[in-house]
Structure 1
């Protein structure tokens, strides 16, 4: 199988001799073998394990991402950040911890930005409705004159 792992800035891995892939999404861990059915899934912050033709395991920590399987022989992972290594010991838990902390910080930032947008919309709405009286025949305008 072909395995392609990319970030917005680089190609992390491009191999044609992959015999097995293990990844993780919200539902848990799963494996991919040659001939797997086509699908698309959203990966969690996790370690992707892949095995080459010599049955050697390799590891890539991914900061979430999208995994697609096409034609049973092409697996592509698009992720925001990834770090690969041949040793799980060298691919330290701190990398996964850093990825999770960055995701949490981004979520807090999105929440804060959304709150600011909502506050601005409320202020505009308050301003627009503050000088508006009833609309219709006989209604008083803000200056007190009837229509």
Structure 2
């Protein structure tokens, strides 16, 4: 099937021949195989995982809309980032900042929803980066 990931600023992915796809939706994760029933869903914050030619790819996404047909998946996301481009240390610091804001919420006037959204985005970035790192270490071991 064809998978396209678009942000308002650029096309992140446009691949044909994808054999499976997992994407975050508002209430969990959905798996999509070729021939999937048509549907439209809100995209949550998390990691998109796809398989093409027995190799996996990973993207961090947050917000947007997924359109699924039998032969294609179009993800129109607010924010997206390829896992190979994620700075792991920066994502870890973002998570620490968000967790710090949440733990200090009694002493400060902070926007709890915004801090929680930042925490979820940082967790998704870290998860995508770890999946990418793990895939690359597996590839190096098999060479």
- Specify the alignment match of 1:9 in structure 2: 9
Alignment partner, residue 109 of structure 2: none
Matched, 1:27 2:27: yes
Task: Output the CA distance in 1 between the equivalents of 2:38 and 2:64.
Answer: 17
- Report how far residue 25 of structure 1 moved: 1.4
Q: 5+ residue gaps in structure 1?
A: 108-147
Q: Does 1:64 align with 2:63?
A: yes
Which residue of structure 2 aligns with residue 111 of structure 1? none
Which structure has more RCO (C-alpha within 8 Å, separation ≥ 6)? Answer: 2
SS in 1 for 2:36: coil
Residue 80 of structure 2 is aligned to residue 82 of structure 1: yes
RMSD, aligned CA = 2.7
Say which structure is richer in helix: 2
Structure 2 Cα separation of the partners of residues 75 and 27 of structure 1: 18
Shift of 1:29: 1.3
TM-score, normalised to structure 2's length? 0.60
CA positional deviation for 1:24: 1.6
**Cα deviations across residues 60-105 of structure 1 (Å, max 9, x unaligned)?**
10022110112x0110000111111359xx674928x67xx7x827
SS of equivalent residue, structure 1 residue 104: helix
Structure 2 CA distance for partners of 1:27 and 1:56, relative to 1, 3 Å: same
Q: Secondary structure at the match of 2:59?
A: strand
Q: Aligned pair in 2 of structure 1 residues 91, 9: CA closer, same or farther (>3 Å)? A: same
**Structure 2 alignment gaps of length 5 or more:** 99-112, 118-143
Total equivalences in the alignment: 98
Pick closer, same or farther for the CA change 1:50–1:86 going to 2, 3 Å.
farther
Question: For residues 18 and 84 of structure 2, what CA distance do their matches in structure 1 show?
Answer: 14
Larger Rg: 1
Taking the aligned partners of 1:86 and 1:51, their CA distance within structure 2 comes to: 16
Distance 1:77 1:8 in 2: 11
TM-score by length of 1: 0.58
Correspondent of 2:114 among 104, 108, 128? 104
